[in-house]
Structure 1
Amino acid sequence: MRTFRIMIRYVLLISLLGMGIQIKAADRPNVLLIFFDDMGYGDMGANGASGARIPNDSAFLNAKTPTLTPNLDRFAEGAMRFTNGHSSDGVCSPSRYSLMTGHYSWRTTLKKGVTGGYSKTFMDADRFTIGKLFQKNGYKTAMVGKWHIGMQFYSPSGDPVDLGNDAKVLQKNKIDFSKPVMDTPYHRGGFDYYFGTPASLDMPPYAWLESKDGEVHMLTRGGIVNNDQEVDFSLAKVATNKDLAEGKRFGRPGVNDPDFVYADYLQVQAAKVTQIIAERGKDGAPFFIYVPMPAPHTPHTVQKKFEGSAGWTYGDYVAQTDFYTGEILKALGDPNDLKSLAANTVVFITSDNGPESGAYKSSLKANHDANGPWAGRKRDNYEGGTRVPFMVRWPGKVKSGSTDHPCWQGDFVATMADVLGYPLGEEEAPDAESFLPVLVGKKMPEKRRAAFIQHSSSGQFAIVDAAGEWKLIDGTGGGGNKTTCDADNGETLKKGTTCGTPRQLFNLKKDPGERVNLLRDPSPDILDKEQELYNMLNAIRGNSDWGTDGSSNVPR
Structure 2
Amino acid sequence: MLRLVACLMIALSAGVSFAAVRPNVVVLLADDLGYQDIGCYGGPVETPTLDQLAAKGARFTNFYSGCAVCSPSRATLLTGRHHIRAGVYSWIHDESQKSHLLERETTLAEVLKGAGYATAHVGKWHLGLPTKKFDKPTPDQHGFDYWFATWNNAEPSHKNPKNFIRNGKPVGQLQGYSCQLVAEEAINWLDEKRDKEKPFFLNVWFHEPHAPIAAPDEIVNEYGGQKDKAAVYSGTIDNTDRAIARLLTKLAEVDAIENTLIVYASDNGSYRDDRTGGLRGKKGVNWEGGIRVPGIFCWPGTIPNGQQIDAPAGVVDILPTVCGLLDLDKPERHLDGSNLAPLLTQQGEFERHQPLFWHLQKSRPIVAMRDGRYSLVADPDYELSTSNMFQEAWIPKIKAGGYTNFRLYDLQADPQQTTDLAAEKPELVKRMKQQLLDINASIMSDGADWHQQ
Please, what TM-score do these two structures have when normalized by structure 2? 0.82
Which whole-Å CA distance do the structure 2 matches of 1:118 and 1:306 have between them?
38
Structure-to-structure mapping, 1:13-52, within 5 angstroms: 21-22=17-18, 24=20, 27-50=21-44
Which whole-Å CA distance do the structure 1 matches of 2:53 and 2:331 have between them?
34
Misfit runs of 4+, over 6 Å: none
Which whole-Å CA distance do the structure 2 matches of 1:295 and 1:423 have between them?
33
Q: Deviations over 1:307-360 (max 9, x none)?
A: 3132122122221122112221221228xxxx943221000000000101xxx2
Unaligned segments of structure 2, at least 5 residues: 1-15, 225-230, 387-400, 448-453
SS state of the match for residue 475, structure 1?
strand
Q: Deviations over 1:87-141 (max 9, x none)?
A: 1100000000110111111235433344347754522222100000100100000
Inter-CA distance 280–79: structure 2 relative to 1 (3 Å threshold): farther
Residues 506 and 518, structure 1, Cα contact 8 Å, conserved in 2: yes
Structure-to-structure mapping, 1:67-466, within 5 angstroms: 67-116=45-94, 119-154=97-132, 161-162=133-134, 183-187=137-141, 189-201=142-154, 206-211=162-167, 216-220=168-172, 259-261=173-175, 264-279=177-192, 283-311=196-224, 312-333=231-252, 340-356=255-271, 360=272, 369-400=274-305, 401-427=307-333, 430-445=335-350, 448-456=352-360, 458=362, 460-465=366-371
Unaligned segments of structure 1, at least 5 residues: 1-19, 51-66, 155-160, 163-180, 221-258, 362-368, 483-497, 551-556
SS state of the match for residue 388, structure 1?
strand
Residues 156 and 212, structure 2, Cα contact 8 Å, conserved in 1: no
CA drift at 1:280: 7.9
Q: Deviations over 1:233-269 (max 9, x none)?
A: xxxxxxxxxxxxxxxxxxxxxxxxxx345x5222211
Which whole-Å CA distance do the structure 2 matches of 1:341 and 1:153 have between them?
42
Which whole-Å CA distance do the structure 1 matches of 2:127 and 2:287 have between them?
24
CA RMSD in angstroms comes to 2.9
Q: Deviations over 1:138-182 (max 9, x none)?
A: 00000001100101123xxxxxx14xxxxxxxxxxxxxxxxxx86
Which whole-Å CA distance do the structure 1 matches of 2:255 and 2:57 have between them?
17
Alignment of 1:527 onto 2:419: no
Which whole-Å CA distance do the structure 2 matches of 1:110 and 1:140 have between them?
26
Inter-CA distance 119–206: structure 2 relative to 1 (3 Å threshold): farther
Which whole-Å CA distance do the structure 2 matches of 1:457 and 1:332 have between them?
40
SS state of the match for residue 445, structure 2?
coil
Alignment of 1:473 onto 2:398: no
1:173: which partner in 2?
A: none
Residues 455 and 461, structure 1, Cα contact 8 Å, conserved in 2: yes
Residues 369 and 377, structure 2, Cα contact 8 Å, conserved in 1: yes
Residues 89 and 457, structure 1, Cα contact 8 Å, conserved in 2: no
Which whole-Å CA distance do the structure 1 matches of 2:186 and 2:426 have between them?
52
Which whole-Å CA distance do the structure 2 matches of 1:426 and 1:474 have between them?
31
1:233: which partner in 2?
A: none
Which whole-Å CA distance do the structure 2 matches of 1:83 and 1:411 have between them?
15
Residues 39 and 388, structure 1, Cα contact 8 Å, conserved in 2: yes
Inter-CA distance 120–198: structure 2 relative to 1 (3 Å threshold): farther
Q: Which amino acid aligns with 1:426?
A: E
Which whole-Å CA distance do the structure 1 matches of 2:431 and 2:136 have between them?
44
Q: Which amino acid aligns with 1:421?
A: D
Inter-CA distance 431–543: structure 2 relative to 1 (3 Å threshold): closer
Q: Which amino acid aligns with 2:243?
A: Y
Aligned length: 404
SS state of the match for residue 410, structure 1?
helix
Which whole-Å CA distance do the structure 1 matches of 2:90 and 2:213 have between them?
25
The structure having more radius of gyration, on CA atoms, is 1
1:513: which partner in 2?
A: 416
Which whole-Å CA distance do the structure 2 matches of 1:92 and 1:202 have between them?
17
Aligned counterpart for 1:549 among listed residues 446, 449, 452: 446
Q: Which amino acid aligns with 1:40?
A: G
Inter-CA distance 23–531: structure 2 relative to 1 (3 Å threshold): same
CA drift at 1:437: 0.3
Residues 69 and 268, structure 2, Cα contact 8 Å, conserved in 1: yes
Q: Which amino acid aligns with 1:505?
A: L
Inter-CA distance 37–444: structure 2 relative to 1 (3 Å threshold): same
CA drift at 1:370: 1.0
Q: Which amino acid aligns with 1:408?
A: G
Which whole-Å CA distance do the structure 2 matches of 1:201 and 1:117 have between them?
17
Identity among equivalent positions (%) equals 28
Which whole-Å CA distance do the structure 1 matches of 2:429 and 2:122 have between them?
43
Which whole-Å CA distance do the structure 1 matches of 2:403 and 2:114 have between them?
45
Which whole-Å CA distance do the structure 2 matches of 1:208 and 1:417 have between them?
31
Inter-CA distance 445–39: structure 2 relative to 1 (3 Å threshold): closer
Residues 21 and 397, structure 1, Cα contact 8 Å, conserved in 2: yes
Residues 71 and 90, structure 2, Cα contact 8 Å, conserved in 1: no
Residues 373 and 513, structure 1, Cα contact 8 Å, conserved in 2: yes
Which structure carries more helix by proportion? 2
Which whole-Å CA distance do the structure 2 matches of 1:462 and 1:538 have between them?
11
Which whole-Å CA distance do the structure 1 matches of 2:220 and 2:329 have between them?
49
Q: Which amino acid aligns with 1:433?
A: S
Residues 75 and 127, structure 2, Cα contact 8 Å, conserved in 1: yes
